[in-house]
Amino acid sequence: MQIVLATRNQHKAVELERILLELDLQFELLTVDKFPDAPEVEETENTFEGNALLKARALCNFTGLPAIADDSGICIDALEGSPGVLSARWSGATENIDRANVDLVLAQTVSVPEGQRGAQFQCAAVAVFPDGREFVSLGSMPGALLTAPRGSNGFGYDPIFVPDGFTKTTAEMSASDKDEISHRGIALRKLAQLLKEG
């Protein structure tokens, strides 16, 4: 059976594919690139789950195939949980977006002392089927913000985030080490189990 990944973010598509392929789901994974006329879905919900469902439902309706989507972001204690669902567009930049977002968060937390720089990545992963079945799973990765970026792997806020129990940022970890503990890895593994159970 074919299943479509509802994301145009190439970094995220690579990560989703990598994690899902390891889970031995009996699906052929297609990316949204295979459907150039697929609609752009505006993320108008105020929860990760709501936005993920918007994207998966739209792509499922358009293609007639099951669709997997996720929505994720970083929630920073000192910013009262922001950027949250606005993580990808926090700075409003249209170029060098990841760097602009990181720079803005660092500026907004510059006076927050060590020990009070808690944050967590959160992810909602969903699968929507043409027959109306919907599966939702959640994952989170708690940690803390640095005051300057470190590492060149990953994307988004990875260079300024150190997960609890680690000394490396998620941008300094290998892809497989990050997948094992990441919010997206946790959510997708739960989702895979739900799909296997039917």
Q: What is the pLDDT of residue 18?
A: 80
The CATH number of whichever domain residue 123 belongs to comes to 3.90.950.10
Q: Which residues is 138 bridged to in the sheet? A: 124
DSSP state, 113?
A: P
Q: What is the pLDDT of residue 70?
A: 93
Rounded to 5 degrees, φ, ψ at 147 are -105, -5
Rounded to 5 degrees, φ, ψ at 146 are -85, 180
Angstrom distance (rounded) from CA 113 to CA 128: 43
Angstrom distance (rounded) from CA 2 to CA 124: 21
What is the H or E stretch that residue 48 is in?
Answer: helix 48-63
pTM of the model: 0.90
Q: Give, rounded to a whole angstrom, the gap between the first and last alpha carbons of the chain.
A: 14
Q: What is the pLDDT of residue 73?
A: 97
Which residues are catalytically annotated? 71
Do residues 109 and 145 touch, judged by C-beta distance below 8 A? yes
Domain that holds residue 86: 2-197
Mean pLDDT by 10 residues, the chain (198 residues): 85 77 78 90 95 97 95 97 96 94 98 96 97 97 97 94 98 93 93 84
Q: What is the pLDDT of residue 59?
A: 96
Q: What is the pLDDT of residue 90?
A: 97
What is the tally of structural domains in the chain?
Answer: 1
Q: Helix 10-22 to helix 183-197 angle, to the nearest 10 degrees?
A: 50
